[in-house]
Amino acid sequence: EVVLTQSPGTLSLSPGERATLSCRASQSVSRRYLAWYQRKPGQAPRLLIYGASSRATDIPDRFSGSGSGTDFTLTISRLEPEDFAVYYCQQYDVPPQTFGQGTKLEIK
């Protein structure tokens, strides 16, 4: 199965800063079938990005996704207080679909 490795494990930043989260796949994810989700404590995960770079409904434009092949990135241009959460990437190209272990974005 495709192993997704997210880095860093924890990212400490301040509101207003730019966050760059990485997701690396053990083999190429063709057709850019990669999604990003946000999860806050006690809340349901929320779809942010699909198709590597398409924002889901009602997702602010400070969230953007990029990448192809084995390297993908989620960028949050200017962090808002509500953005501090755990972020997961998911590939849905090669069965079984797999998720990364997550990056925790915490307030510095």
Partner 1 sequence: EVQLVESGGDLVQPGGSLRLSCAASGFSLGSYAMSWVRQAPGKGLQWVSMISESGDNTWYAGSGKGRFTISRDVSKNTLYLQMDSLRAEDAAIYYCARRRLGQLSIYDYWGQGTLVTVSS
Residues 65 to 104 in contact with partner 1, rule: CB under 8 A: 88, 90, 92, 95-102
Number of residues that bind partner 1 (CB under 8 A): 25
Which of the stretches 15-23, 37-45, 60-68, 72-80 binds partner 1 when contact is defined by CB under 8 A? 37-45
Q: Check residue 52 for interaction with partner 1 (CB under 8 A).
A: no
Q: Check residue 9 for interaction with partner 1 (CB under 8 A).
A: no
- Smallest gap from residue 39 Cβ to partner 1 (A): 8
- Smallest gap from residue 91 Cβ to partner 1 (A): 9
Q: Check residue 44 for interaction with partner 1 (CB under 8 A).
A: yes
Cβ–Cβ contacts within 10 Å for residue 90, how many?
20
Which residues have a Cβ under 8 Å from the Cβ of 87 and sit 6 or more positions away?
Answer: 6, 21, 36, 37, 38, 39, 48, 74, 102, 103, 105
List contacts with partner 1 (CB under 8 A).
4, 6, 33, 35, 37, 42-47, 50, 56-57, 88, 90, 92, 95-102
